Amino acid sequence: MKITKNLNLSKRFQILLFFVMTIYSFNISLTAEKYKQNIKKLIPVHAKTAPVIDGKLDDNIWRTSALVDDIFITYNPTDGEIFPQKTKVWLAFDKDNLYFAFYCYDTEPDKIKTSITKRDNSFGDDWVGIGLDPFGNKQSLYEFFVNPSGMQGDIYNTPANGENSAPDWVWYSGGKVVNDGYTVEIKIPLKSIRFKHGENVSMNILFWRRLNRLGMNGSWPELDPGKGIFNSTAEVVYKNLSNQRLIEFIPSITYGSLWDRETPDTWSKGDGDMDAGISMKYGITSTISAEMTINPDFSQVESDSFQISRNRRYPIFYREKRPFFMEAGDLFGLAGSQNNLYPAVHTRKIVDPSWGGRITGDVGKVTFGAMIASDKWPGRELENEENPYLDKQALYTIGRMKYSFNGDNYIGGLYSGRELGDYYNRVFALDTKYRFGKSHSIVANFFNTNTNDPEEENNYAGTAYTAKYNYSTKKLFGSFNIERYGKNFQMDTAFYRRTNVFSSKLLLIPTFVIKSEKFKWLQAIKPVFITNYLYDYSTGMKDQYLNIGVMISFIKQGDLTLAWDIMQKESWAGKTFNTHGVWGGGGIQLTKWLRINMNLSLKKGIYYDREDPFLGRRINFSTSLSLQPLETLSFNLSYNYTDFNKDSDGNDIYDYHIFYTRSTFQPSKHLYFRVLIQYDSYLDTVMSDILASYELIPGTVMHIGYGSMHENISWDPRNRNWANDINSQKFYQTSQSFFIKCSYRLQF
């Protein structure tokens, strides 16, 4: 019987593989017209008078011919088409700044989508962008984005870690909707970026444009999937850039207080606390900078969203939200497969830092970074337990270096260490990215870990390695990766799931571009084929996964994904379960002011009990609405429902309802108001969070916030404590908090 089942699975696999390869073979036989761009070296003009950054192209410097007056080529959702609207770009500079101007023509200007919103929140609008590689070494890209209202987004991009929207640089922008499109101006102070100074400074650059109503992105030069973004740039030469050494101080003061409800009628006294801190940055040269923070305020202005916490096999991953560490995230990422470990340096492991320091720089083909921080959290007092590390601090030391060669290829190394008394965890890692041919690339890494734990009287070493091969063209994307984590692998700075396992994954996505007058609303169809395999050396058990699906792209930023998990065998607590099922979802921008997203999953699932695990039927449904009645006003509403029933008898094990609302009002570029309300039905809690912010530039900001937690509980008057008597439960506000934070950025 087992042999018959295995044969059936083998036949299924062969049929699916044949199906995918047939699609690919047919797909590569299709021919598409090749459009040629006039890619040339750009020589920005010197601005004798600095332009006023107001979005109006009425300054003398913009009356010259545009340096880029050429077609843009699409890269999303299809590759290689002519972008349907014309774009012109001007470039200029002076001794302190780089200047850019865009004229974005639009034959339907009334359909331009824009908003007055906070930084990094306008990517759902129309926008234009700049990708700037200031060293020309194809190892980093400063990305600047501006919507038609002048709102900003900024991203730092590296070959190892991809795009990271955490950094917030000081730069200036303006935008204006006009009769035949919109115009944008940008000023980037040289002190805000690392760059080479001197005569005839060569950089790499590219430009993007987003057309919201069609869900379409285009670029100049064209983004070639096989070459990658870092190799798809044009050269820009600045005749003379002077050395810029930044000296910066950001002092901050934070006051916060928390109150807990002691009885239905009384509250505790507020634990009002005031902290002062300072962050400093010094530009050693125009390419190397050092930073330090003392008694930093890492209070979270943005709360972590509720996530389903019941019946999870792995811990919940929460993204970094603290400014000093957010900017470090992209520096220490490793190339290689990231299915089991992501990221290698997860700075939220540094829970309560007292101070931190960092140095980063580029020297020729070498990029380096180092960070050190002290964490007070391990030395805290523990309830009902003795802490052997009481009043001690953990010291984190992290170092990174990369050597680039031949495009965006590189070889790099990472050291990650955590020291606490006699305990230590030290990790050395190597990684590389190598692109060959027109469409092939390999990324790989290797870890060697060493841990000394006096409490366990044990010193142990571990290893891990991962490798991933990518094949990327306009018609097909494919990847194959392997991962091996040893039994004694341990990395205290990383977020990872399992050790003592080997896994592999194959992914194939061919692309069909739809060109039909009858189906103008349809843009592309992408069949998807995925298969995974995992072997656990500790148990000798295997996990297997086989999936087919399709992704469909429409106009109006529309997308639809349908998938069938034909086989998903997962091992847990000595048993193997088949958790197959179907799932899908998508979204669409129905109008300028309304977007809808929806997802549905109908699958088998495991109840992760170590003593008695069992199979169940799991339904997960989520939907969200984004409403923007005015440029200054927006509402986000979301709902997530999960239901789990035991497969053998149909008993309901648990269900979850999570509601989330976010209302924002931003009357100007600098002033911002936000209200969050989150409800979790399983925990019977309601969290609210109110924030008012005024931000002149990143670092010069004032936040005022109020938060509260309501819980559905009961009060026991006889014992005078909180209880869980279902018959007398009601919602009480059990805690409330208030904070105010002020900081000011001084630059010299």
- pLDDT tens digits along 103-128: 999 999 999 999 999 999 999 999 99
pLDDT of 298 reads 52
DSSP string, 407-418: TT-EEEEEEEEE
φ, ψ for residue 212, nearest 5 deg: -60, -50
In sequence order, which residues have a C-beta less than 8 Å from that of residue 300 and are 6 or more positions away? 321, 322
Q: Is the peptide bond preceding residue 527 cis, with omega within 30 degrees of 0? A: no
- The yes-or-no verdict on residue 132 having pLDDT over 70 is yes
DSSP state, 556?
A: T
Q: In whole angstroms, what is the distance from residue 578 CA to residue 615 CA?
A: 8
pLDDT of 364 reads 87
Weakest mean pLDDT among 213-227, 359-373, 393-407, 721-735: 721-735
Q: 281 forms bridges with which residues in the sheet?
A: 248, 291
- The yes-or-no verdict on residue 500 having pLDDT over 90 is yes
Q: Which of 320, 314, 365 is nearest to 341 (CA)?
A: 314
pLDDT of 166 reads 82
In sequence order, which residues have a C-beta less than 8 Å from that of residue 248 and are 6 or more positions away? 280, 281, 282, 745, 746, 747, 748
94 pLDDT band, cuts 50/70/90, is very high
- The yes-or-no verdict on residue 24 having pLDDT over 80 is no
Q: Which of 666, 674, 671, 664 is nearest to 626 (CA)?
A: 664
Q: What is the mean pLDDT of residues 415-436?
A: 96
Q: 455 forms bridges with which residues in the sheet?
A: none
Q: In whole angstroms, what is the distance from residue 746 CA to residue 748 CA?
A: 7
Q: 594 forms bridges with which residues in the sheet?
A: 591, 627
Most confident of 81-85, 327-331, 348-352, 379-383: 81-85
SS3 label, residue 487 = coil
Q: What is the mean pLDDT of residues 442-461?
A: 92
Measured from the Cβ of residue 668, the count of other Cβ atoms closer than 10 Å reads: 9
The answer to whether the CB of 83 falls within 8 A of the CB of 72 is yes
SS3 label, residue 42 = strand
Which of the two residues, 521 and 43, has the higher pLDDT score? 43
pLDDT of 29 reads 40
Q: 398 to each of 333, 347, 417, 494, how far by Cα in Å?
A: 11, 11, 6, 12
Express as a percent the part of the chain with pLDDT over 70. 93
Q: 679 to each of 242, 532, 622, 673, 706, how far by Cα in Å?
A: 54, 36, 14, 21, 17
91 pLDDT band, cuts 50/70/90, is very high
Which residue bears the tokens 């202005």? Answer: 301
Angle at 218 between CA 216 and CA 219, to 5 degrees: 165
User: CB-based burial of residue 639 (10 Å sphere; 0-12 exposed, 13-18 middle, 19+ buried)?
Assistant: middle
Q: In whole angstroms, what is the distance from residue 138 CA to residue 219 CA?
A: 17
List, for residues 134-143, the tens digit of each pLDDT value: 999 999 999 9
pLDDT of 306 reads 58
Q: 641 to each of 267, 365, 606, 629, how far by Cα in Å?
A: 34, 50, 17, 27
**Position 28, amino acid:** I
Q: In whole angstroms, what is the distance from residue 412 CA to residue 430 CA?
A: 6
Q: What is the mean pLDDT of residues 202-228?
A: 95
Which residue bears the tokens 């928390």? Answer: 258
- The yes-or-no verdict on residue 708 having pLDDT over 90 is yes
33 pLDDT band, cuts 50/70/90, is low
- The yes-or-no verdict on residue 177 having pLDDT over 50 is yes
Average pLDDT of the chain to the nearest whole number: 90
Q: 133 forms bridges with which residues in the sheet?
A: 204
Q: Which of 462, 608, 359, 529 is nearest to 15 (CA)?
A: 529
- The yes-or-no verdict on residue 27 having pLDDT over 60 is no
Q: In whole angstroms, what is the distance from residue 345 CA to residue 495 CA?
A: 8
Express as a percent the part of the chain with pLDDT over 90. 74
Q: 68 forms bridges with which residues in the sheet?
A: 89
Q: What is the mean pLDDT of residues 178-198?
A: 95
- The yes-or-no verdict on residue 3 having pLDDT over 60 is no
Q: In whole angstroms, what is the distance from residue 163 CA to residue 393 CA?
A: 32
The answer to whether the CB of 652 falls within 8 A of the CB of 643 is yes
Q: What is the mean pLDDT of residues 33-47?
A: 90
5 pLDDT band, cuts 50/70/90, is very low
In sequence order, which residues have a C-beta less than 8 Å from that of residue 5 and are 6 or more positions away? none
pLDDT of 302 reads 61
Which of the two residues, 699 and 44, has the higher pLDDT score? 44
pLDDT of 30 reads 43
pLDDT of 330 reads 67
Weakest mean pLDDT among 17-21, 172-176, 284-288, 490-494: 17-21
The answer to whether the CB of 462 falls within 8 A of the CB of 498 is no
pLDDT of 422 reads 92
- The yes-or-no verdict on residue 196 having pLDDT over 50 is yes
Q: In whole angstroms, what is the distance from residue 242 CA to residue 486 CA?
A: 51
List, for residues 349-394, the tens digit of each pLDDT value: 998 899 999 999 999 899 999 999 999 999 999 888 889 899 999 9
**Position 204, amino acid:** N
**Position 478, amino acid:** G
List, for residues 266-307, the tens digit of each pLDDT value: 999 988 888 898 999 999 999 999 999 988 765 556 665 556
- The yes-or-no verdict on residue 319 having pLDDT over 80 is no
DSSP state, 302?
A: S
- The yes-or-no verdict on residue 2 having pLDDT over 80 is no
Q: What is the mean pLDDT of residues 313-323?
A: 77
List, for residues 629-675, the tens digit of each pLDDT value: 999 999 999 999 999 999 989 899 999 999 999 999 999 999 999 99
pLDDT of 26 reads 45
Q: Is the peptide bond preceding residue 343 cis, with omega within 30 degrees of 0? A: yes
Measured from the Cβ of residue 514, the count of other Cβ atoms closer than 10 Å reads: 16
